């Protein structure tokens, strides 16, 4: 069912790798809700993923960009405004990667070159995206910028490794830039803190199966799916959430406010 919530809105969607990606589901739904947008991902992900299929389905153009490269971002944003025929109403940053996680380095034995790469890709890239949007004055008034995060930014999940620190950094950037984007451009900036979700990035976390089952049993409403995350994101791009900004919004079936659940107690 579609409500035309994004009728006439223009945007950029980062991070659709394959059909499991949260960004993929968001792109499908944004299209169904009447938006037009440009799809983007890192050049290497273009070769690994299936983004062409999504572009065809949603009538979108693809512009490759490494989200850590200012040059790529400048090109992406100016070209998107041109292709879409006007300033942008929404931007989704759905990007995360830790080299330490990928290569199995423990939190207590980091390779700091990899740590740095991880925060550049997962957190500072959000600043770079926003700074480029800001400098090019590429956002429409009452536009909405959104990034995805995880609760390990607030509470310790040992296997989440340095991604926990990257997410804390990301959430802080959303608040800090949200102030300036709000004051100067009437644009809102938020993060959604999503349940564990079986995607390429999610499944990279050690012990993911146990992690996701535990969260499922702890959440009164159960884990939020990628599709449900897309649905929530669309409301944040719509005109019905104009004064929501600088927030970290938990989308997790109640997990973050649950101390313990009956199902978990019964396990002991």
The verdict on 94 binding ligand NAI (CB under 6 A) reads yes
Question: What is each CA distance from 133 to 78, 118, 149, 193, in whole angstroms?
Answer: 9, 22, 21, 23
Q: By CB under 6 A, name the one of 121, 173, 218, 230 that touches ligand NAI.
A: 121
Residue closer to ligand NAI, measured from CB, 115 or 199:
199
Q: Determine contact, residues 181/90, Cβ cutoff 8 Å.
A: no
Question: What is the Cα–Cα distance from 186 to 190, expressed in whole angstroms?
Answer: 13
The verdict on 201 binding ligand NAI (CB under 6 A) reads yes
Helix/strand number for the chain, H first, E second: 12, 7
The verdict on 129 binding ligand NAI (CB under 6 A) reads no
Q: By CB under 6 A, name the one of 98, 132, 161, 194 that touches ligand NAI.
A: 194
CA-wise closest residue to 60 among 52, 50, 68? 52
Q: Which residue has the tokens 């976390």?
A: 205
User: Mapping DSSP to helix (H, G, I), strand (E, B) and coil, where does residue 89 land?
Assistant: strand
The verdict on 202 binding ligand NAI (CB under 6 A) reads yes
The verdict on 143 binding ligand NAI (CB under 6 A) reads no
DSSP state letter for 77: H
- For ligand NAI, the binding residues in 25-44 under the rule CB under 6 A are 41-42
The verdict on 169 binding ligand NAI (CB under 6 A) reads no
The verdict on 11 binding ligand NAI (CB under 6 A) reads no
Which residues of this chain interact with ligand NAI, rule CB under 6 A?
Answer: 14-15, 17, 21-23, 41-42, 45, 66-68, 94-97, 121, 148-150, 194, 196-197, 199-202
């Amino acid at each position: 069912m579609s409500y035309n919530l994004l009728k006439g809105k223009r945007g950029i969607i980062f991070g659709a790798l394959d059909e499991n990606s949260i960004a993929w589901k968001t792109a499908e739904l944004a299209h169904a809700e009447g938006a037009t947008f440009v799809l983007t991902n890192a050049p290497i992900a273009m070769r690994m993923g299936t983004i062409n299929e999504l572009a065809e389905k949603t009538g979108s153009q693809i512009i490759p960009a490494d989200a850590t490269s200012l040059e790529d971002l400048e090109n992406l944003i100016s070209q998107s405004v041109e292709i879409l025929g006007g300033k942008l109403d929404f931007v989704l940053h759905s990007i995360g990667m830790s080299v330490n996680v990928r290569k199995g380095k423990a939190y207590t034995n980091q390779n700091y070159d990899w740590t740095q790469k991880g925060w550049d890709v997962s957190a500072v890239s959000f600043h770079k995206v926003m700074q480029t949007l800001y400098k090019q004055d590429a956002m429409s008034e009452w536009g909405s910028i959104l990034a995805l995060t995880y609760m390990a930014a607030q509470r310790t999940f040992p296997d989440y490794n340095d991604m926990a620190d990257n997410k804390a950094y990301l959430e802080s950037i959303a608040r800090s830039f949200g102030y300036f984007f709000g004051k100067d451009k009437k644009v809102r900036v938020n993060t959604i803190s999503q349940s564990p979700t079986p995607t390429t990035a999610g499944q990279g976390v050690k012990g993911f199966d146990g992690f996701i089952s535990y969260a499922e049993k702890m959440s009164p409403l159960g884990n939020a799916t990628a599709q449900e995350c897309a649905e929530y994101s669309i409301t944040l791009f719509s005109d019905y959430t104009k004064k929501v900004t600088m927030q970290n919004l938990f989308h997790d079936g109640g997990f973050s406010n649950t101390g313990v659940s009956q199902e978990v107690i019964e396990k002991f």
